[in-house]
Structure 1
Amino acid sequence: MNKTFIFLFACFHIFIKSQKTSTDRISELPPAPSYSTDRKLRDPYDGVSIHDAPKDVVGKMNLEKVVFKPDQPAEFPGGIKTLKQKIYETVDPYNLTSFSHWGTVYIIIDDKGKITDLFVQTASNNLKEEMKSALEKIKTRWKPAQRKGMRVNSLFSFPVHFNFDVE
């Protein structure tokens, strides 16, 4: 009986000891990745807040899923000077009733490079209509903005000024 008891004690001791080393090995393994956290890190719209939007456009444009501070802003092929040149060539000065017009144009460029929304901050209704018409006629696609290495919808703004001198 004593021999059986000693044998069982030895087997039980070995079984317990093997369980401890097994547990120790598991604790040495790195933690399993959390897929929900990884997905949030890759979501380019994570952390985007409407509070980052210019106050002029809040409530006047569809700002859902729009990045206001991208890592790389949207670009018009040839740059902003080329865009302004195309706008000035497209605008009909006879539709502008006064000699001087100025304002700020806000456009949303989607992740495919197309203009999806437009707002012109100006006192002149004529300038608003002319800018909308001019930008609709310009069919050139933009290079979309990027955030976290992915293409995103973004807000782009630029000033415009038309001054027609009478001699």
Structure 2
Amino acid sequence: MKDLSTFFVKDNLDEIVFSNRNKAYGAYALRNEYSSQLTKALFVGVAFFASVAVIPLIVSAFSSDVITDKGHDYGPYILDPVEEIPEIVKVTPASSVPVKVKTVESTIFTPVRDVKKNKPLPTEDDKKDAALSSETSAGEDTKLIVAPPAIKVGPPTVAPPYTPPAKVEDPNIVVDGTKVDVAADFKGGINAFREKVAQNFDTESVDKTGMVSGVITFVVEKDGSISNLKVTGSSSEFNSEAERTVKAIKTKWTPAQLKGKAVRSSFRMPISMKIE
């Protein structure tokens, strides 16, 4: 007897699907045989994989590998005969003993000529008033006169006076403006330079009232430009504004002259302003 759930679910579903249809059609038969076919396929698959795993074990159980120590048979190998090396006999040389021979004492004499007696050396009295010669003989006395060295008479030789080497001056040296031949000059004079400074000076940038003064120093270059600008005064704001004003002036100076050449010269100008 079929399970109720199977009866009411599967069979009823198949009956509903194939109602009023030809149940002899293959799909109806396949659906009815599906469970049995699936069970058969499962058993066949399990049996196949089990046989694949068991067959090697059965084969190995009935066949045993025989391990031998026999290697490859390459045939007999004939070695070449080895020549015997004869033993080297070390020959010891016989000790050489000097042969003793018969000798007799013999003295060789060296002949020497008869030695003549030396002549007596001349005394100091013999040397007095006598000239030097290879032999001593009698004669008149001589006087050895030594002439004094000749002195050349003429005007004395005077050495040329010493001329010190010319001093090489540094072309970039800054000359004091008061020690030049021609002082540096601004176009229109120094008063024109003061007026330009006063016209361009912004008094509102100085937070101070009353009389403010300072000293402007700079170097006039050979091309008329100015460098090394510095303003020294009691107010830093005044100093900064004075530097800005001088730098804003684009008119070039006429450089100072020293020995006919343009030189760098220092310039110093006091400045004072009344700020209200």
CA distance in 2, matches of 1:91, 1:154: 25
CA distance in 2, matches of 1:158, 1:122: 12
Among candidates 228, 252, 264, match of residue 117 of structure 1: 228
Give 2:112's aligned residue. none
Q: Which runs of no fewer than 5 residues in structure 1 stay unpaired?
A: 1-26, 47-63
Which structure carries more helix by proportion? 1
Q: Aligned-pair distance for 1:146?
A: 1.0
Q: Aligned-pair distance for 1:164?
A: 2.5
| 1:160 is the counterpart of 2:271 | yes
Aligned length: 115
- Aligned partner of residue 102 in structure 1, secondary structure: strand
Give 1:14's aligned residue. none
What are the residue-to-residue correspondences of 1:82-97 with 2, within 5 Å?
Answer: 82-97=192-207
Runs (4+) of structure 1 moved beyond 6 Å? none
TM-score, normalization: structure 2? 0.38
- The letter for the 1-side match of 2:231 is V
| 1:132 is the counterpart of 2:249 | no
Give 2:174's aligned residue. 66
TM-score, normalization: structure 1? 0.61
- The letter for the 1-side match of 2:175 is V
What are the residue-to-residue correspondences of 1:32-51 with 2, within 5 Å?
Answer: 36-37=165-166, 40=168, 43=169
- Aligned partner of residue 105 in structure 1, secondary structure: strand
CA distance in 1, matches of 2:251, 2:234: 28
- Which structure has the bigger radius of gyration? 2
CA distance in 2, matches of 1:158, 1:130: 16
- The letter for the 2-side match of 1:106 is T
RMSD between aligned residues: 2.4
CA distance in 2, matches of 1:71, 1:131: 29
Give 2:187's aligned residue. 77
**1:34-76 deviation line (CA, Å, top 9, x unaligned):** 8x52x64xx4x59xxxxxxxxxxxxxxxxx7110121211101
